[in-house]
């Protein structure tokens, strides 16, 4: 580990608890506006086109990594990345509050207008999150060593996810109790509160300042060149890139599971909260597996397990055509989606930080996330496939991608000597 001007040990406990609370509040907030449950159902209520369901999901997922290569070149030379995070956290809180009030106050407006303004506001909210992403990951990488990051993510999801399960039942109550679209506005308003608390919690982390800092800002062309050179010479970086590409292709179908089930299995809108709770429960329970693997065996095994389990949801949804389906079957699919999503969120960033030299974290994270960003636009294509072909082709593509992700995950491994230990 590099020497730190501010001792990580002195502030570790406060940082650890602040990092956990950030995740707890974020997971509670996300239960109210989940990208695979509530959000697709809200968009589907405004338009019959699956394209817009995919577009909003693309905005949510692609806006996180896409801006980061530009921000990485800007922040890599700075000793402290926290100020940028704080500015953008305030902006995100304001935007999601505006979204909430807009849905509630303009409930009688034409749905086309509501959809257009919502997409623009949601894009601004998601983009600001992506701009803050480099600062977030750099601070996490400096403050929490690899073997501690696994337990950090597990506690974040374990506590926040447990409360998210309860929130799922509240989601069902609110959707049933209040008229549309005020019910969705209330869900966003509740999410605003918890999201703001999440940002505040992370802002309390004491960021250590590394002795090794790139004092001069790199030109963008140099930054790109360095990233491409790293991709060519670092085999672990390249294999991790391929794993993430194919897992990205697999997850392009996630926002459409709830739409397919509602359309073909006849579920009521008010039951969406049960799917929120079940998916969250899958993420919580899987933490016992993923956290243990990350801590004791390595994040490469987390990725292998995640890729293997990601094969099951598209298989089960395709089998639903040929056998009698009940609610428990549909909920089990969302349980597996929760396991898969949590495995990606825990395994991929930790594995990326494992193979990234301390002084090059912004370059590795920014370049990797930007290179895989085009895959994250696939939900929009997925919506078009559903509109003009069928659900079958989308889920079949997801299945094929999962198999390829598992194949490349078998070629990716981490040695014990590169796993960072706590200072």
Q: Which residue has the tokens 């079949």?
A: 396
Long-range contacts of 90-94 (CB under 8 A, 24+ apart): 90/199, 91/128, 92/125, 92/128, 92/129, 92/132, 92/195, 92/199, 93/192, 93/195, 93/196, 93/199
Q: What is the pLDDT of residue 285?
A: 86
Domains detected in the chain: 12-418 (1.20.1250.20)
| DSSP annotation of 157 | H
| DSSP annotation of 210 | B
The end-to-end CA distance of the chain, in Å, is: 7
Count of positions (residues) in the chain: 423
Q: What is the pLDDT of residue 6?
A: 43
Q: What is the pLDDT of residue 288?
A: 79
Q: How many Å apart are CA 5 and CA 151, to the nearest integer?
A: 25
Asked if 392 contacts 318 with a C-beta cutoff of 8 angstroms, the reply is yes
Express each pLDDT in 240-267 by its tens digit: 888 888 998 888 888 889 888 888 887 7
Asked if 243 contacts 310 with a C-beta cutoff of 8 angstroms, the reply is no
Q: Which residue has the tokens 């990594």?
A: 65
Residues of the chain with pLDDT under 70: 1-10, 65, 68-80, 146-147, 150, 209-224, 324, 358-360, 362, 414-423
Whole-prediction pTM:
0.75
């Amino acid at each position: 580990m590099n020497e730190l001007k501010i001792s990580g040990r002195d502030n570790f406990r406060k940082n650890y608890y602040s990092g956990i609370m950030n995740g707890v509040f974020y997971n509670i907030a996300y239960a109210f506006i989940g990208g695979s449950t509530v959000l697709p159902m809200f968009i589907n209520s405004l338009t019959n086109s699956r394209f817009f369901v995919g577009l909003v999901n693309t905005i949510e997922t692609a806006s996180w990594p896409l801006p980061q290569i530009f921000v990485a070149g800007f922040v890599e030379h700075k000793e402290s990345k926290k100020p940028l995070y704080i500015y953008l956290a305030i902006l995100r809180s304001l935007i999601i509050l505006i979204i909430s009030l807009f849905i509630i106050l303009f409930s009688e407006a034409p749905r086309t207008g509501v959809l257009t303004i919502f997409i623009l506001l949601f894009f601004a909210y998601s983009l600001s999150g992506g701009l803050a992403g480099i600062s977030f990951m750099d601070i996490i990488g400096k403050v929490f060593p690899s073997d501690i990051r696994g337990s950090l993510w597990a506690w974040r999801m374990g506590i926040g996810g447990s409360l998210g399960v309860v929130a799922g039942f509240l989601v069902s109550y609110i959707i049933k109790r209040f008229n549309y679209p005020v019910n969705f506005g209330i869900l966003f308003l509740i999410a605003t509160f918890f999201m703001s608390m999440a940002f505040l919690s992370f802002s309390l982390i004491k960021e250590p300042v590394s002795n090794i800092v790139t004092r001069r800002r790199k030109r963008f062309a140099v930054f790109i060149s360095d990233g491409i050179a790293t991709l060519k010479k670092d085999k672990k970086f390249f294999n991790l890139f391929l794993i993430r590409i194919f897992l990205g292709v697999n997850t392009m179908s996630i926002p459409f599971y709830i739409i397919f089930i509602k359309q073909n299995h006849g579920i009521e809108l008010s039951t969406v909260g049960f799917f929120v709770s079940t998916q969250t429960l899958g993420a919580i329970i899987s933490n016992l597996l993923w956290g243990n693997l990350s801590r004791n065996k390595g994040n490469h095994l987390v990725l292998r397990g995640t890729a293997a389990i990601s094969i099951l949801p598209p298989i089960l949804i395709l089998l639903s055509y040929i056998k009698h389906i009940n609610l428990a079957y549909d909920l089990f699919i969302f349980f597996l989606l929760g396991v898969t999503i949590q495995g990606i969120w825990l395994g991929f960033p930790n594995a990326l930080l494992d193979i990234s030299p301390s002084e090059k974290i912004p370059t590795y994270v920014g370049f990797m996330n930007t290179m895989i960003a085009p895959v994250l636009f696939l939900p929009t294509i997925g919506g078009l496939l559903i509109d003009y072909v069928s659900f079958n082709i989308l889920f079949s593509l997801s299945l094929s991608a999962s198999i390829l992700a598992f194949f490349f995950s078998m070629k990716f491994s981490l040695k014990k000597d590169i796993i960072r230990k706590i200072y």
